[in-house]
Amino acid sequence: MATGFVFHELYMWHNTWNWAQVFAPSLTVQPGEHAENPETKRRFRNLLEVSGLLDQLVTIKARYASEDEIARVHTREHIARIKAMSAENGGDASSLTPFGKGSFEIAQLAAGGTMAACDAVIEGRVKNAYALVRPPGHHATADVGMGFCLFGNVAVAIAHARATHGLGRIATVDWDVHHGNGTQSIFYADPTTLTISLHQDNLFPDASGSLAERGEGAGEGYNINIPLPPGSGDGAYLAAFEQVVLPALRRFKPDLIIVPSGFDASGVDPLGRMMVTSEGYRAMTGLLMQAASELCGGRLVMSHEGGYSPMYVPYCGLAVMEEMTGIRTAVEDPWKPHMAKWGQQALQPHQQQAIAAAARLIEAIA
Ligand code: 3YP
Ligand code: ZN
């Protein structure tokens, strides 16, 4: 069976305005493009095309999530606020999350594209799927957008999978370099959704993503944060997978695994200070596919989040898609020899310490 792929030209038309005005609102920084702009995502899709891999994928048509579908995880007030601003000249979903006219509809399409990817996997039309969407989603909480996110694409898709396909347990493994606070908060009291986030410790949002955030009420134990020190590379991430993510998934036994997939933990990302390479992303994908085939018939869906290096995101994305399809293209990651010279990829003691602390959390999963 093939791998599904969701993309829509309108994702590229989500306007995030001028980064200088948003991030440093003074006349000290030259105006320039917002970090979350179409370029990295368009280049990812373009590399899929020129590598030939795109021809091997099954195109899944994106659709618009309805307001009712979004309201499964967001407040009506939040939806109405974004919709009203979008109908005028745009606005800011809270802070640092500017958007232009029409972004409400594009955000509906991003959530709906992630839903469509889940439908295709759950219905068995494809073995797994990647939704290359904008705007991203993992920071949006029930009542506010933030960190470039308007609606929680993955959260909306999880609620949809449960409501329409009757799936029970769903796990998310968020490898974006920033904490997946939105997904965490939406399912914080829900023991049927295991939310796991690997992220750079203390990066974004402020004071978010510690080990102490474990879920609440019936959901206690079903949120696992794995904050990693800056400088963590393939060795640390794979150790975190072996020691925390995979054992947690095996205990939880999900019916579906969804990855909020950001490539901003890469060694050259402007918004993170991690060291992951395309081979690291390939290996993490392989481990999740293994877990998915062991636990849930291989059902694995990814929905795009961050990743801001126009030169590197495409190669990380291609590696993930090669692993998901089982097809190797002739494309070599041109950064590989350069990044190899930097070293520092092996697991280091302070990283292992952080991973061991997170590993203690998995016992709470029943
Ligand atoms: C939001 C404001 C500063 C950092 C930025 C993070 C966006 C992101 O990639 N989240 O996953
Ligand atoms: Zn991010």
Please report, for residues 1, 40, 195, 246, the alpha-carbon distance to residue 171 in angstroms, rounded to integers and kept in the order given. Answer: 22, 27, 6, 11
Sign of CA dihedral 313, 239, 275, 96: positive
Q: How far is CA 109 from the centre of its chain?
A: 16
Please list the ranges in the chain whose pLDDT falls under 50.
none
Annotated active-site residue in 139, 160, 178, 179:
139
Cα(176) to ligand 1 centroid in Å equals 9
The encoded tokens of residue 117 equal 């990817």
Ligand closest in space to the Cα of 180: 1
Catalytic residue at 139? yes
Cα(229) to ligand 2 centroid in Å equals 15
Closest residue by Cα to residue 220 from 193, 180, 258, 202: 193
Amino acid 22: pLDDT: 73
Which residues does a 6 A CB cutoff place in the pocket of ligand 1?
96, 139, 147-148, 176, 178, 204, 262, 264, 271, 305-306
Residue whose CA lies nearest to ligand 1 atom number 6: 147
**Looking at this protein, which amino acid is placed at residue 349?**
P
Amino acid 20: pLDDT: 78
CB-CB contact of 350 with 240 (8 Å): no
Number of neighbours of residue 311 by Cβ within 10 angstroms? 11
The Cβ-side half-sphere exposure at 258, using a 13 Å CA radius, reads 36
Amino acid 257: pLDDT: 99
Residue whose CA lies nearest to ligand 1 atom number 7: 147
Tell me how far apart the alpha carbons of residues 233 and 271 are, in angstroms, rounded to a whole number. Answer: 15
Strand-strand pairing, 98-99 and 128-131:
unpaired
Number of neighbours of residue 332 by Cβ within 10 angstroms? 10
- Classify 58 as helix, strand or coil: strand
Number of neighbours of residue 330 by Cβ within 10 angstroms? 6
Amino acid 200: pLDDT: 99
Closest residue by Cα to residue 156 from 133, 173, 138: 138
The encoded tokens of residue 97 equal 């999350």
